Amino acid sequence: MVIWRAAATTLGAVAWLTIVVSGQGDLRTPWGDPDLQGTWPSGQLINVPFERPAQFGTRAELTDAEFKQLASGLQRQQDADAEQFSRGGGGGVNPPSHWLEAGRPVRQTSLIVDPPDGRLPPMTEDGARRAKAWPSTNPSVPYASAQEFNIYDRCITRGVLGSTMPNIYSSGIEIMQAPGQVVIRYEMIHETRIVPLDGRPHVSPGVRSYMGDPRGHWEGRTLVVETTNFNGRTGSLARNGNGNPTSESLRLVERFTRRDRDTLDYSVTVEDPRTWTRSWKVAFPLTRDPDYEMFEYACHEGNYAIRNILSAFRAAEQPQRAR
């Protein structure tokens, strides 16, 4: 049996249609491509470590007892966040817990799935040198100018990797499709990638950017996106992609497979021979959330940190006034 679902805007200018072949879980667009459309926030996986804790070794999933303990802790946190009045505590510059993504219990022990131990491979000598010099948010560093901060602190971008990884808030990912292209929109910092599917070659090697040059094709029900032409200025580690460098040799191969109506399997293989001694891979499932709202991430408008940090260092450099 084939089920047709359709809707149109009041202007009649935009319409969408999904074809569902029952019994196969195979959702198709009107032009026959696998349908990946929807909002797939990654913040639900915020509790999964980027690298696997060493005690798990090559074990990719939690035991029943470990999963139960994780679920119980998350439930206690959600109960506390839902209280009318905060109990206080905490401190530092981070927001209170009820501002953040609560996440959900997941058996996965790390976002990295290859190498088998779920840990990043060793860096090359050149990669280690660049990692040591990579700018980081450190209040003890006497910054001379805004250019010395990393690109996330400067509200420029989080790169492809940082935009996709689960974060503490604003981790919405929306996928839209049209004949011959797929559009991927990220809530933070405000990136939109247009992925051509018509087989065109990559742009000239002389043209490079923070988000690279993506090209897509279908392998059965899986969308494969190869991205090259990076400028080597985005990071590859941590939730915001603001840790460790990448180089102009970076090549990403992403795979998007809709397992069922509400599950999208995502993976990305990271190849950067100038930075890492071997490739590595991240994989996790995304859950569709039609009620999730994508908000404008007004990063520059609310970015008082750089101005305040720089002004504080300039003030500290002035001779102390006589009391």
How much is the pLDDT for 305? 85
> Given a cut of 60, is residue 59 above it in pLDDT?
yes
- The amino acid at residue 49 is P
Q: What is the pLDDT of residues 134-189, one digit of tens each?
A: 887 666 778 888 888 888 888 999 999 999 999 888 999 999 999 999 999 999 98
Contact 71, 105 (CB under 8 A): yes
More confident residue, 154 or 31: 31
How much is the pLDDT for 2? 42
Q: How far apart are CA 258 and CA 52, in angstroms?
A: 26
pTM of the model: 0.87
The contacts of residue 214 (CB under 8 Å, 6+ apart) are 193, 194, 195, 196, 225, 226, 227
How much is the pLDDT for 16? 42
Q: What is the pLDDT of residues 223-261, one digit of tens each?
A: 999 999 999 999 887 677 778 899 999 999 999 999 999
User: Looking at the chain, how many residues does it have?
Assistant: 323
Domain ranges of the chain: 1-32, 39-75+99-317
Q: How far apart are CA 112 and CA 284, in angstroms?
A: 9
Contact 213, 203 (CB under 8 A): yes
Nearest to 274 by CA among 252, 253, 243, 249: 249
Other CB atoms within a 10 A radius of the CB of residue 210 amount to 16
